[in-house]
Amino acid sequence: MTLGFRFGSSPVLRFFLLFTILGCILVMHPAIGVADSSSKRDAEKKKIEKGIDQQQIKIRRLNQGIEKQEQQVQKSRQQERNLLTELEDIDTRIFKQKDKLDVLETRMQEQRQLIEKKKSELDQVQTDKQEVQNHLQKRIEAYYKMGDIGFINVAFSSKTLPELLKFREAFHQLILYDRSVIKDFRDTIEELERAVDALILEEALQKEFISQETREKTKLDQIRQEKETLLTHIRTQAKLHEQAIVEMAKASESLTSALKALKVKEELVDQSFLSSKGQLPPPVSGIVITQFQKQTTNRLGIISRSQGIAIKAPSGTMVQAVHEGEVTFAGYLRGYGNTVIVNHGYKYYSISSRIERILVKKAQKVTEQTDIAIMGDTATLMNEGLYFEIRHDDETLDPLDWLDNTQLTFSQ
Looking at domain 278-410, its CATH class is: mainly beta
Measured CA to CA in angstroms, residue 366 lies from 46, 69, 126 at distances of: 20, 52, 134
Q: Stretch 376-381: mean pLDDT, rounded?
A: 70
Q: pLDDT tens digits, residue range 20-68?
A: 333 433 333 444 444 556 677 777 778 878 888 888 888 888 888 888 8
Lowest pLDDT segment from 32-36, 113-117, 215-219, 302-306: 32-36
- What is the per-residue pLDDT for 91? 87
Q: Stretch 166-187: mean pLDDT, rounded?
A: 73
Q: CA torsion sign, 155 to 160 to 161 to 163?
A: negative
Q: Stretch 227-253: mean pLDDT, rounded?
A: 87
Q: Stretch 320-327: mean pLDDT, rounded?
A: 94
Listing DSSP states for 127-161 in one string gives HHHHHHHHHHHHHHHHHHHH----HHHHHH-SS-H
- What is the per-residue pLDDT for 217? 83
- What is the per-residue pLDDT for 149? 45
Backbone angles phi, psi at 351, to 5 degrees: -125, 120
Measured CA to CA in angstroms, residue 9 lies from 1, 23, 43, 76, 152 at distances of: 19, 21, 38, 82, 187
Q: pLDDT tens digits, residue range 84-139?
A: 888 888 888 888 888 888 888 888 888 888 888 878 887 887 887 788 778 767 76
Q: What is the mean pLDDT of the chain?
A: 79
Percent pLDDT > 70 in the chain is 78
Q: CA torsion sign, 195 to 201 to 207 to 209?
A: negative
pLDDT band at 164 (very low <50, low <70, confident <90, very high): low
Lowest pLDDT segment from 52-61, 260-269, 392-401: 260-269
Question: Do residues 386 and 355 touch, judged by C-beta distance below 8 A?
Answer: yes
Lowest pLDDT segment from 146-155, 182-191, 283-292: 146-155
| Residue ranges per structural domain of the chain | 278-410
pLDDT band at 13 (very low <50, low <70, confident <90, very high): very low
* Largest distance between two CA atoms of the chain: 207
Report the distance separating Cα 180 and Cα 192, nearest Å: 18
Percent pLDDT > 90 in the chain is 24
Report the distance separating Cα 388 and Cα 339, nearest Å: 10
Q: Pick from 247, 242, 232, 252: which is nearest to 70 by CA?
A: 242
